[in-house]
Amino acid sequence: MRDKNWEISLYEHQHAMIKRLDVHRQKERSTPLTQDEIMAVEHTFQLLIASMLDLAIYVLKHHYDVTIERRDQVLESLLQHKDVTFEQGEQIKVLIELRQKILFDYLDQNFEELSSALSLRRYGLVEVLTKEWTARLDHDG
């Protein structure tokens, strides 16, 4: 059963994270970020991508009756069900790979790659997909 309150809360949370990333993206051009700001940006980015994957799991369950056990299985299932375009799939792949680097290679400095993704505003795709996926669920019901 769908949880509309969760969907709305997730969207609002994602929107707030995107706005926070936008602030840092704009600030980064004018002033270097402090180490604390870099950590905040990395954490926000990780949460944003995790929320996209969790919503995708939710949509796959409620729209296709497909159960996904792990986040690393999400993209393949989305592509199989033609729930994202090839281009969106490629963008999601980049976002997931960057999140994985930040999450698991935390001793390495991956901020240059994240900075590049921020400057391109690649993370904006999350909000687009959230709107598309919840609209698809609304159409089902």
Of 2-6, 115-119, 134-138, the range with the highest mean pLDDT is 2-6
pTM above 0.85, yes or no: yes
Structural domain of residue 106, as residue ranges?
4-140
Exposed/middle/buried for 55, CB within 10 Å: 0-12, 13-18, 19+? buried
CB atoms within 10 A of CB 61: 13
For residue 112, give Cα distances in angstroms to 21, 50, 126: 15, 20, 21
Query: What is the total count of domains within the chain?
Result: 1
Report the alpha-carbon angle 39-71-125, nearest 5.
65
CA distance 1 to 30: 47
pLDDT digit string, tens, across residues 73-118: 999 999 999 989 999 999 999 999 989 888 887 666 667 788 877 8
Q: What is the CATH number of the domain that holds 104?
A: 1.20.120
